[in-house]
Amino acid sequence: MKNQVTKYYPMLPVLAAYAALFLIGRNMSGMWQLVAMLLFYCALGQAFNIFLGMTGYVDFGYVAFMGVGTYGMALAISRLAHIEGLGAGIIVIGFVLAVLMSTMLSIAVGAVALRLRGAYFAIATIGVNEGFRFLIEGARIWNGSEGIIFTAQLNQILGREAASALATFWADLFVLIIAVAAALVTLIYMRSKIGYALTALREDEDAAKVMGINVTKFKIIAFITSASFAGLVGASSWALKTPYVFPPEVFEIHYTIEAIIIVLLGGAGTLLGPLVGGLIYGISKYYLSIFIPGFQLLIFAPIIIVIIVVFPEGVVGMLKAKTRNTAAGRFIV
Partner 1 sequence: MVFEQLTGNLFQGLVLGAVYGMATMGLSLIFGVLKVVNVGHGAFVMVGAFITFWLFSALGVNPIFAIPVAFVIGLGLGLFFYYTVIQRLIKAPELATLLATFSIGVLLQEVVKLIFGSEFRGYNWTVGKIDLGLTVLPVSKLLASLGSVGIAVLLYIWFNRTRAGSAMRSVVEDSEGARVCGVNVGAAYAWSFALGIGLTVTSGVLLTMFIPVGINPYMGGGYTLKAFVIAVLGGLSSPYGAFFGGLVFGLIENGSYTLFALLPGVEPFALTRFLSFLILLIILLIRPTGLLTRK
Partner 2 sequence: MTLLQLDNVTKRFGGLVAVDHVSLEIDAGQFVGIVGPNGSGKTTLFNLISGVFFPEEGRIYFEGADITRMPPYKRAPLGIGRTFQIPRPFSSATVRENIAVGAMFGTLGKKLTVDDSMDVADQLIEKLDLTAHREKAAGTLTPVEKKLMEIGRALAMKPKLLLMDEAMAGMHPSDIDQMVAFTRQIAEEENISIVAMVEHIMRAVIGMAEKVIVLHQGAKLVDAPTQEALKDPKVVEVYLGGSGGR
Q: Which of 114, 179, 208, 333 binds partner 2 (CB under 8 A)?
A: 208
CA 113 – CA 173 distance, rounded (Å) = 34
**Could you tell me if 240 and 171 are in contact, meaning their C-beta atoms sit under 8 angstroms apart?**
yes
Residue 204 as a binder of partner 2 (CB under 8 A): the answer is yes
**Could you tell me if 124 and 116 are in contact, meaning their C-beta atoms sit under 8 angstroms apart?**
yes
Q: Which of 79, 209, 241, 330 binds partner 2 (CB under 8 A)?
A: 209
Considering the complex, state which of residue 57 and residue 65 has its C-beta at the smaller distance from partner 1: 57
193 binds, among partner 1, partner 2, none (CB under 5 to 8 A by kind): partner 2
Q: Which of 1, 4, 27, 139 binds partner 1 (CB under 8 A)?
A: 139
CA 113 – CA 118 distance, rounded (Å) = 10
Considering the complex, state which of residue 117 and residue 324 has its C-beta at the smaller distance from partner 2: 324
Q: Which of 143, 151, 156, 199 binds partner 2 (CB under 8 A)?
A: 199
CA 136 – CA 208 distance, rounded (Å) = 39
Give the torsion sign (CA, 266, 174, 241, 29). negative
Least distance (Å) from partner 1 to the CB of residue 125? 10
CA 189 – CA 65 distance, rounded (Å) = 21
CA 186 – CA 195 distance, rounded (Å) = 8
**Could you tell me if 256 and 122 are in contact, meaning their C-beta atoms sit under 8 angstroms apart?**
no
**Could you tell me if 194 and 220 are in contact, meaning their C-beta atoms sit under 8 angstroms apart?**
no
Q: Which of 184, 220, 253, 288 binds partner 1 (CB under 8 A)?
A: 253
Residue 251 as a binder of partner 1 (CB under 8 A): the answer is no
Least distance (Å) from partner 2 to the CB of residue 309? 18
CA 201 – CA 284 distance, rounded (Å) = 34
Considering the complex, state which of residue 198 and residue 233 has its C-beta at the smaller distance from partner 2: 198
Residue 191 as a binder of partner 2 (CB under 8 A): the answer is yes
325 binds, among partner 1, partner 2, none (CB under 5 to 8 A by kind): partner 2
Site residues (CB under 8 A) for partner 1, limited to 55-74? 56-58, 60
CA 305 – CA 318 distance, rounded (Å) = 17
Q: Which of 27, 325, 326, 327 binds partner 2 (CB under 8 A)?
A: 325
Q: Which of 9, 312, 322, 328 binds partner 1 (CB under 8 A)?
A: 312
Residue 117 as a binder of partner 2 (CB under 8 A): the answer is no
Site residues (CB under 8 A) for partner 1, limited to 118-137? 118-120, 122-124, 126-128, 130-131, 133-135, 137
Residue 5 as a binder of partner 2 (CB under 8 A): the answer is no
Nearest to 223 by CA among 42, 80, 102, 83: 102
CA 41 – CA 33 distance, rounded (Å) = 13
**Could you tell me if 97 and 72 are in contact, meaning their C-beta atoms sit under 8 angstroms apart?**
yes
Write 185-190 long-range contacts (CB < 8 A, 24+): 185/50, 185/225, 185/229, 186/46, 186/49, 186/50, 186/54, 186/271, 187/8, 187/10, 187/11, 187/271, 187/333, 189/50, 189/54, 189/222, 189/225, 190/271, 190/333
Least distance (Å) from partner 1 to the CB of residue 297? 5
91 binds, among partner 1, partner 2, none (CB under 5 to 8 A by kind): none
User: Which residues of the chain form contacts with partner 2 (CB under 8 A)?
Assistant: 3, 191-193, 196-197, 199-200, 202-204, 206-215, 269, 324-325
User: Which residues of the chain form contacts with partner 1 (CB under 8 A)?
Assistant: 56-58, 60, 112-113, 115-116, 118-120, 122-124, 126-128, 130-131, 133-135, 137-140, 144-145, 253, 257, 260, 264, 295, 297-298, 301-302, 304-305, 308-309, 312
